[in-house]
Structure 1
Amino acid sequence: MIMGNGAKDFSDEELAALRADFPILQRIGRGGQPIAYFDASATSQKPNVVIDAEADFYRLRNGAVHRGTHLLGDESTSVYEDGRASLAAFINGRSDEVVWTKNATEAINLVALSIGHASCGRGGEAATSLAIGPGDRIVVTQAEHHANLVPWQELCARTGAELTWLNLLPDGTIDGDCLDVITPNTRLVAFTHVSNVTGAISPVDLIVSKARSVGALVLLDTCQSSAHMPVDVASLGVDFAVFSSHKMLGPTGVGALWGRRELLNAMPPVLTGGSMIAHVTMDHAEYMPPPERFEAGSQPIAQIAGWSAALDYLRTVGMDRVVAHEEAITRRLLEGISSVDGVRILGPLSQTNRIGVVAFAVEGVHPHDVGQVMDGEDVAVRVGHHCAIPLHTHFGVRSSARASASLVSTGDEVDRLVESLSRVRSYFGGV
């Protein structure tokens, strides 16, 4: 990574204390050892404070938000809104700019569907600035997770707008020389902060600057960055950003959209029903202002309680310390995996401008077989196309295995991963 903040890696004692907070790290795998977990990009493990916060909500505070005057209803509403404020503070945004969703995928779809509604004339005069149609362009990159590609394909199919993309260099990083695809008719640029395959950090400043020069909006997918580095939406200069709790030590089932207030005000709702209505007659409805406008129905309050605890945990640890630790782990992962004969890393080989997400292909061995062999030695890696088929196509492979580290990964676990990987090819009769 290139944070350069001077923070120090955790000492052995500090890392051991952190690991003690995560009960699942004591889980014994099929091979009889504690599982070395290298699948944090898929989902992070949870510290006790997160597990306890979610359980304690149900034990002590369970009630419906914004719907009653009794004690439990008031306390539930406080949990709900305090969680919003907590996430806003964590990303340097405003509370009224944070919309709860069930995951980051829904947050991206919320923006895409709302733009689609605006393009069909919904939302009144305020929404006309968001409308797109034939002659307009949306730009993504070849490095996107399907969640930040398919919704834009669908929006373009519905509206007649054109979808195009930023190409990649051979190592899978975004080609900074192809920004001319962001043309004056570009209305939106959507891209990942960090690739979930290569671990490469996108050139946010370059892309945002180009988008601004043509008046395009920018949506940033932070799913692979927000648990690994500070994310400051004000400094990043984007218009929308999406977040995923379960990637950030929090529970599954809750995510968030951050959007600039004036854009949220202009956006027509997507899901409609209870909790987002200001007034209803039999033939007309008036909607609440954001963020409530986008939060129809019952919400995942217990999960928000858990996510708040996760954010507090990350604040206490310090994101600068997380960066320093993962920088050391990334270096060890890259050096170790690249030393194994017959293994090709998909992505940059230098730790500069990347995090500890390392996808790799083993010569002559299917990724699922790689994963099964390593699982037999209690090393957990991801296998498949990681919901990024176009990126794998760029590398000329159908799928890969992927090791992704977290703030509690250890050097010894990296060594176990490398040792296990070094035995894969021989297991299948390779060299």
Structure 2
Amino acid sequence: MAAGLVISAPASGVGKTTLTLALARAWRHRGLNVQCFKSGPDYIDPAFHAAATGRASVNVDSWAMDRETIAHLVSRGVDADVVLAEGSMGLFDGVAARGVSGTGATADIAEMLGWPVVLVIDPSGQAQTAAAIAAGLRDYRAGVNLAGVVLNRVASPRHEELVRHALNEAGIAVFGALPRHAEISLPKRHLGLVQAEEQAEIDKLIDEAARFVAEHVDLDAVLRSAASWSPQPAVNGLNVTPPGQRIALARDAAFSFVYPHMLEAWRGAGAEISTFSPLADEAPDASADVCWLPGGYPELHAGKIAANAHFRSGLRAFAETRPVHGECGGYMVLGTALTDAEGARHEMTGLLGLETSFAKRRMHLGYRLAELAAPMPGHRPGARLRGHEFHYSTIIAQPDMPLAVVHDATGAVIAETGSRRGHVTGTFFHLIAEDR
């Protein structure tokens, strides 16, 4: 039987990921088997979890997934000693309109699984008010139980004493307090953390975070606060049809945003996945029956992609006879051109008419519900697909036939409809699940 906990906070940027990685590695050093999950649609953090634990991590999402899907995904923790779900944004932050089983808030997952919450609180610029915030979060929603808090970035012993006293007065356990420590700061870029696979020193950084947290946090008390948990068997697994029997998947620093649970579901349904690197000027496997270009950072590598003639010609030849689909950055590369942040225009593959600009940047962020007007690999016309969109590129032209009618989480129709032309399709959202 595993011990289950949720790591959350009042807001983004407080230190949830660092604490999750540190706890996971510290307990692993003690010989415990640790399984992590990510609550919400962030597709970067699971790779950090895997680096810390040696076990694959997946996303669980109450807006996009039903309870059966979530139960199926978390059941991988059955053989673990400790199971940690890292939250996204603040504990109760989700969308206004309920999705499949909730609003996408971390609190949904905590209540659904019955796991207590460890709050990371940054009391910078405050003292006793931190206790008021923690008490408000504790009392906001019945069914969500607060185990205690870890203070992060305390300014001094006096500062820590003031905050601890107020939390104790409020009846809230303090598991530890972390002084500022630049050596465990994770580097960031415009879409979030720099990916784990791009950081050569990631293992040393996680080890240092684990050492630092073990020095300042009572790991035994945190573990005792966890709920004993054994997964309930799911009646149904993931509602996922692979896009093909043999899938050519673009995979490198420019094409890396794909949800781990999707790849696992494809393989679980019998599909074979062969990867290729557009940045290394590789073309998709000629024996594959579908090609999938995930999102990533093509805007950081646009010049190289434009210059890689073997990749571009190979992809065009593939698309003459077989389906090709792109998500977000992959969709942009399927288009005619991409303008980078410096204003330089780079020719892309031209399989779609889409033209995008990163120079005219504006954030597009949120859940998406798409009803397909035409088939895309693995999904029939009329299918309702749930996903998440997060990018800064602006559409200059989107002249092809729309792939879907796309709504945001409030039900409003949005302009990012996706595109289709011949065997080629693309969307700005990253697919999470299909409605049953």
TM-score (norm 1): 0.26
Q: Which is richer in helix?
A: 1
- The higher-RCO structure (CA 8 Å, 6+ apart) is 1
TM-score (norm 2): 0.26
